[in-house]
A and B are shown apart, each in its own frame.
Chain A
Amino acid sequence: MLVAHRNLTKEKTRLALSIGGVALAIMLVLILDGFQVGMYQQITSYLEHSPGSVVVAQDGVSNLLGATSLLPPGATSRVQEIEGVAKAVPILSQFVILDLHGKKQPAYLVGYSPELGGGPWEIVEGRQPRTDEEMVFDRVLARRHEIGVGDEVKVIDRTYRIVGLSSGTTSWMTSFFFLRKSAVEDLFRAPGATSFLLVEVQEGKSSEAVRDRISGLQGVEALLKSAMEANDSRLFARFFSAPVRLMAGIAFLIGVLVVGLVIYTATVERQREYGVLKALGARNRVLYGVVVVQAFWAALAGAALGILLAQGARLAIMSARPQFLIILEADMAGRAIVIGLGMGLLAALAPARAVAGLAPAEVFRR
């Protein structure tokens, strides 16, 4: 233990660089993880805050953001008549690409009736739209493009005046904005069209039973709101998990190499001392222990610093780019330490080989 400690701390710059390298790798893994968690929260945020517990979509459509849904004519009144339905809130929604200051900004447009609900759940400035020429815009997106209440935004071929700014409606990929449903019908040249119904269930009635009853109607698909949220998360996970896993995998390998390089160099540098230990009767097991203990401490210190760095980077990124939500959960810290120790163990393999291959007589030949 003493030999390991001395080897590791003899060169302070080397130790600092190695801990820094592992910390950066751990930070990257944590930020990527946190980014994914934040993204799932952002994309399900509308459904979480919308009224009702059952969502009715066009037959075959099982998520809000992945596909455009258009309910068959008359679906709203047929759903209203179903036993157990207290209220069916219609929305007409669709992704659109906004051209804001020469930048393409995908945004999710929700057409809703302010008197029924389904619109922004927290207006931080201004009010709900009263006419078809007014809109509620996402606060973060508005700030990024230096627009605010009273400004005009062009959506496809119409222009709308911002009368309210909403909070909690942003994500790095897309933000939500809101118009009156009649305005969206006009914009999409689809009079009377409805994409989804947000269904409130009568008190004491089961959401599952209401969902099953609605599913019996032709041309519609009814899902529990929680199921639709899960479908949206799964959909986005399918798009993003592969690149994120690839990046995290590379970061892990970097961590292994950094610790490996440090311990290997420290081992090679002290080869003669290891030879003396062997000549004095120390078994390979003891020498492996020395190597592993060094790798363990370097990786552990790196992981701890990595957690702190990730927290700092998270705050810095979210402050500079508020559209990114990075959530670091408590269990991630534990996972980071396990990952760091995994890096340490793997990194100890090469130096352990160097020690194992050492001939005790080597020391006397020099």
Chain B
Amino acid sequence: MMRLAVRNLFQNRMRLLISVGGVALALMLILSLDAIVSWIEQRVAAYIEASGADVWVSQEGVRNLHMASSSLPADRVDEVAAVPGVESVTPILYVTNVVAMGEERAIAYIIGLPEGAQAGGPWNLVAGEVDPGPEGAVIDQGIAEKSGIGLGDHVEILGRAFEVVGLSGGTSTFTNSIAFIRGQDFSDLRANPGVVSFVLVRVEGGASATEVATRIEAEVEGVTAQTREAFAAQERQVVRDMSTDLLTIMNSVGFLIGLAVMGLTVYTSTLLRRGEHGVLKALGAQNRDLYLSVGLQALVSVGLGLAVGLAFTLLLGAVVPRLVSNLGLRVSLPSVGKAAIASVVFAVAAALLPIRQIHRLDPAMVFRGK
């Protein structure tokens, strides 16, 4: 029966191609959206993870960077530095603003760094200087390339012209890039002196970041201190919480389409093989043998569909970032698991559909030439 199922399946290559393609595309709907969200989740915390800080200190209650604002009185910097276990502190200024390059305008995190910053600067310098220096800026290489900007050119940040002194890699996300300027320039332009956004803390060798964060919160008033990992997790949670409903809707549609495609495939295939099934029945095959044959075909089809869908999603993951600078795909294991479960449901549901047809099949029909 297994051989019969496989032979039936592979005999008509065009139909197999269409059915596997249909299932693969339906699963791609589930896999690719999951992969986009997973990529955004990963990239949204890139700056935090690469900052070099063990603990991030913010205004009390601020647990995010993206779409958030934090304002700390500057004297908190020294208070944090005095906490046991703190090796160095780097106060940074932060705002989401635009980098204007000629007619092009790109949304960016503008980071104001102090001179000799121990953390929070560009982590993957592609060209030029790491330290922006006075009236200098380090901007994302991809964004610069897109606008034809290079080292020595000028860009406008916070309404003032800055010379591009460095180009950094890995500093572009789904929504924005990151631009680094001197903290002094930043506060001059924002007219809000005496305030910093975050304090980036490096802990002494051997000290626990979690313990230092707890100590900072206990000893310094009006701050929230989180380890780098905890802060990055909060950032990823924003993306997850925002996309949950959207993912549910898209996954449901993908699931329904997959069901329809697979149901259609198995049903039409059974329909075409009516004569053959009649012969088998006439030769003494039981209904359950035929069910098994149909079920196996459905299972092999969705298995192939899953493999093709996964392969195409991985391919998209390789191609899309080359075509769209702010988009990528990251296929995660739980997402593949979800698609695999959906595939099994497709196969089972599809195999159930022609049961009535097989059950009603009259073995004598084969002799009537039907």
Contact = CB atoms under 8 A, between A and B. Distances in A.
Interface of A: 11, 13-14, 17-18, 20-21, 24-25, 27-28, 31, 58-62, 66-70, 72-73, 94-97, 99, 103-106, 154-158, 172-174, 188-190, 193, 219, 221, 235, 238-239, 242-243, 246-247, 250-251, 253-254, 257-258, 260-262, 264-265, 268-269, 317, 321, 323-324, 350, 354
Given A66-B98, A257-B261, A154 B61 contact: yes
Interface stretch (B47-55, B122-130, B138-146, B240-248): B240-248
A210 B349 CA distance: 66
A239 B19 contact: no
Given A172-B245, A242-B324, A262-B268, A157 B59 contact: yes
B220 to A, nearest CB: 13
B26 interface: yes
Contact of A246 (B32, B69, B265, B271): B32
Given A14-B268, A258-B22, A261-B22, A104 B64 contact: yes
Contacts of A66: 96, 98, 107
A28 to B, nearest CB: 5
Given A67-B107, A190-B192, A354-B14, A60 B71 contact: no
Contact of B271 (A156, A247, A251, A265): A265
B159 A18 contact: no
Given A61-B98, A354-B14, A17 B253 contact: no
A156 to B, nearest CB: 4
Given A14-B267, A173-B242, A258-B264, A317 B249 contact: yes
B73 A189 contact: yes
A174 B61 CA distance: 19
A97 B63 contact: yes
B21 interface: yes
B156 interface: yes
B237 interface: yes
Given A106-B242, A268-B272, A24 B253 contact: yes
Interface in B78-102: 95-98, 100
A70, A73, A95, A250 pick with most chain B CB within 10 angstroms = A250
Contacts of B253: 24, 27-28, 31
A243 B326 CA distance: 11
A95 to B, nearest CB: 4
B364 interface: no
Contacts of A258: 22, 260-261, 264
Given A17-B260, A70-B191, A247-B250, A11 B12 contact: no
25 contacts: A13-B267, A60-B156, A66-B98, A66-B107, A67-B96, A67-B98, A97-B66, A97-B67, A104-B237, A155-B61, A156-B60, A156-B61, A157-B59, A157-B60, A189-B59, A193-B192, A239-B175, A242-B324, A242-B327, A247-B33, A250-B29, A261-B19, A264-B18, A265-B271, A265-B272
Contact of B327 (A193, A243, A253, A324): A243
A72 B15 contact: no
B222 interface: yes
Contacts of A172: 245-246
Given A97-B68, A219-B159, A72 B257 contact: no
Contacts of A257: 18, 21-22, 25, 261
A17 B60 contact: no
B174 interface: yes
Contact of A254 (B73, B156, B222, B257): B257
A262 B238 contact: no
A94 B246 CA distance: 24
B336 interface: no
Interface in B124-176: 156-159, 174-175
Contacts of A13: 267, 353
A261 B264 contact: yes
Interface in B219-234: 222, 234
A59, A70, A257 pick with most chain B CB within 10 angstroms = A257
A157 B290 CA distance: 67
A75 to B, nearest CB: 10
Contacts of B159: 58-60, 219, 221
B19 to A, nearest CB: 6
Contacts of B25: 250, 253-254, 257
A95 B67 contact: yes
B258 to A, nearest CB: 9
Query: Top 9 nearest A-B pairs by Cβ distance?
Result: A59-B159, A157-B60, A95-B67, A157-B61, A189-B71, A17-B264, A265-B268, A21-B260, A156-B61
Given A106-B242, A254-B26, A321-B245, A96 B67 contact: yes
A209 B174 CA distance: 37
Contacts of A262: 264, 268
Contacts of A24: 253, 256-257, 260
B238 A14 contact: no
A187 B33 CA distance: 37
Contact of B98 (A18, A60, A158, A265): A60
Contacts of B105: 60, 62
Nearest to A236: B175
A221 to B, nearest CB: 8
Contacts of B268: 14, 261-262, 265
B62 interface: yes
A51 B330 CA distance: 44
B272 A156 contact: no
Contact of B257 (A18, A28, A67, A265): A28
B272 A269 contact: yes
Nearest to B99: A60
A20 B265 CA distance: 13
Contacts of B59: 156-157, 189
B360 interface: no
B265 A268 contact: no
B195 interface: yes
A73 B220 CA distance: 31
